[in-house]
């Protein structure tokens, strides 16, 4: 799955290269939210 970063302060999107693709899992999202804060990780 492609990884895209959204910068809320500027409204900009940054699509990362295929090198940073992820395999979604509940464990991955839990760890990311632990690092980045609740409600910051979404899948579309």
**Domain residue limits at 22:** 4-36
Overall domain count for the chain: 1
39-to-5, 9, 18, 35 alpha-carbon distances in Å: 14, 16, 24, 11
Q: What is the pLDDT of residues 18-27, one digit of tens each?
A: 999 999 999 9
Q: What is the length of the chain?
A: 44
**Computed from CA positions of residues 15, 16, 18, 22, in that sequence, does the dihedral angle turn out positive or negative?**
negative
Q: What is the pLDDT of residues 1-44, one digit of tens each?
A: 999 999 999 999 999 999 999 999 999 999 999 999 999 898 88
Question: Would you say residue 43 lies in a domain?
Answer: no
Q: In b/e form, how buried is each residue of 25-35, taking b as 16+ CB within 10 angstroms? A: eeeeeeeeeee
Question: Would you say residue 12 lies in a domain?
Answer: yes
């Amino acid at each position: 799955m492609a990884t895209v970063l959204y910068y809320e302060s500027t409204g900009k999107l940054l699509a990362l290269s295929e090198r940073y693709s992820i395999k979604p899992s509940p464990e991955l999202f839990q760890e990311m939210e632990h690092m980045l804060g609740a409600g910051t990780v979404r899948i579309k």
